[in-house]
Amino acid sequence: MGTLTVCVSVLLLLMMTLSESSRLNACCTQYHEKPIPVRFLRCYTIQEVTHFCNLKAVIFKTVKKRLVCANPDSGWVQRAMESVPECFLNKHRIGR
């Protein structure tokens, strides 16, 4: 019974570690300041402030499948959000 408890504990710890690392990889830490033409943007998603990400951001996915973090208060970002659809991507698959 003790071995089973240790194995389950290690497995849970490993799952939590992997979950945390994948969340952190999709977290914006700074803004891209230069405006991007709308024709290069595919869609966007909103990053809210959470325990893992302390920066509110708009994450644009470009036509080349790159992710760009932008300031939601910036004028060019607000105009772009009106022109491109919202992406419904979970944090584990946002880069695909």
Q: Is 69 in contact with 31 (CB distance < 8 Å)?
A: yes
Model-level pTM? 0.66
Residue 90 DSSP symbol: -
pLDDT at 31: 97
Could you tell me which of 1, 3, 5 has the C-alpha nearest to residue 13? 5
Q: Which of 24-38, 60-74, 79-93 has the lowest mean pLDDT?
A: 79-93
Top-tier CATH class for 26-83? mainly beta
Q: Which of 2-11, 42-51, 55-64 has the lowest mean pLDDT?
A: 2-11
Q: What percent of the chain has pLDDT over 70?
A: 68
Q: Is 43 in contact with 84 (CB distance < 8 Å)?
A: yes
Instruction: Decide if pLDDT at 10 tops 80.
Output: no
Amino acid identity, position 40: F
More confident residue, 21 or 60: 60
